[in-house]
Structure 1
């Protein structure tokens, strides 16, 4: 099923150009471009839009936190895509906590944008490559991190597999990289899901963004 998207951004020439490109993809049915907060609220009230994209051009990060939280409260099914300005991991983590579904950076390519739309169409969250690299580094080098609300600490092997999951590797890829069987990977994966109290790989990545992990 195709989505209806609002692009809340400026300058107009950029937003309208992006609109024309996205309208040619298989994921979008209708696009509305606007740069006025009042018009944005009116469009959302119609209930006809399930995707919203807005960027750091429109407001300060602190305002984005507030607006995102309010929009999700008023429109629980709305999927929000943020175009950030090289935000750090802490800020990105907070944005997901406030309710965004995808994060792209101003340096992200159009191909990455279409990858994002494809991920959202299948019910996943999405991180651009720049943010993913930051997140992986954040997890890998975070000696000052503390795990939050985890019943049992992750083992060294589980932490290793968690990082590979965050890199987007499949169980088969992980088994090849670590020289272990797929069944062993799946066993570790199930234990990670249980310990982090999440349902799937998307939940693992989101947890890694929202919480601190000790190696």
Structure 2
């Protein structure tokens, strides 16, 4: 199997030179080029575009990183970009992947995680370090709780009453007779409840009620 070329865009040189020697000894890459300025990186990419490019957050501000990742991936279709981020926010990481990166590692990622990311990229997969994955899971869980417990438009007393009757399996006709209101009024309340809870049907209403301990 033909070995790939790697370009590292990072500083200081003491660290990058050490990493370069380590990677060359690992026999993963045929060559490891070091760039510690944007001009040197541009020259490197124009000369002979590497298969792998590792960019450190030391070198570019996040807004510049977005622009450059997009530019590099547009001009070099086969390049696989690895970002070494500075504890970036989940939304920022997501945007970087949308711009075209293939791997995200945090500054606290270890060498073995870097090797895992290379193996993933060689298999045409993407890679996100464990630390960022954990943040993503926490973000999704928190976001779900926010959606569940903080409705922008809370249910009225009447809507809550109708919700409980829906959960008891009553039809619109049954509810109208129980509450002495027209079927049309019940249907209007039903539609508002579905809209507020962001669910499609009575099953979703029951699920919401159970999860939020409105019913047992």
TM-score range, shorter chain: 0.5 to 0.7
The higher-RCO structure (CA 8 Å, 6+ apart) is 1
Which residue of structure 2 aligns with residue 64 of structure 1? Answer: 65
What's the TM-score, normalizing by structure 1? 0.64
Residue 44 of structure 2 is aligned to residue 43 of structure 1: yes
Q: Any idea what SS the aligned residue of 1:117 has?
A: helix
Q: Any idea what SS the aligned residue of 2:72 has?
A: helix
Q: CA deviation at 1:48?
A: 4.2
Cα offsets for 1:3-27 (capped at 9, x unmatched): 1000010011011111111112242
Which residue of structure 1 aligns with residue 10 of structure 2? Answer: 9
Q: Which of 1 and 2 has greater Rg?
A: 2
Q: Give 1:103-182 correspondences, 5 Å limit.
A: 103-143=104-144
What's the TM-score, normalizing by structure 2? 0.64
Which residue of structure 1 aligns with residue 56 of structure 2? Answer: 55
Contact 1:82 1:102 in 2 (8 A): yes
Which is further off, 106-115 or 22-31? Answer: 22-31
Q: Which runs of 5+ in 2 are unaligned?
A: 148-216
Q: Any idea what SS the aligned residue of 1:143 has?
A: helix
Which residue of structure 1 aligns with residue 87 of structure 2? Answer: 86
RMSD: 1.6
Report the Cα distance in structure 2 between the residues aligned to 1:65 and 1:130, rounded to whole angstroms: 21
Q: Any idea what SS the aligned residue of 1:124 has?
A: coil
Which residue of structure 1 aligns with residue 180 of structure 2? Answer: none
Report the Cα distance in structure 2 between the residues aligned to 1:102 and 1:145, rounded to whole angstroms: 29
Contact 1:27 1:118 in 2 (8 A): no
Contact 1:25 1:114 in 2 (8 A): no
Report the Cα distance in structure 1 between the residues aligned to 2:122 and 2:26, rounded to whole angstroms: 12
Change in Cα spacing, 1:76 to 1:9, as seen in structure 2 (3 Å) is same
Q: Any idea what SS the aligned residue of 1:104 has?
A: strand
Q: Which runs of 5+ in 1 are unaligned?
A: 147-215
Q: CA deviation at 1:144?
A: 7.7
Cα offsets for 1:166-207 (capped at 9, x unmatched): xxxxxxxxxxxxxxxxxxxxxxxxxxxxxxxxxxxxxxxxxx
Q: CA deviation at 1:87?
A: 0.5
Report the Cα distance in structure 1 between the residues aligned to 2:79 and 2:145, rounded to whole angstroms: 35
Contact 2:16 2:34 in 1 (8 A): yes
Report the Cα distance in structure 1 between the residues aligned to 2:71 and 2:146, rounded to whole angstroms: 29
Contact 1:27 1:121 in 2 (8 A): no
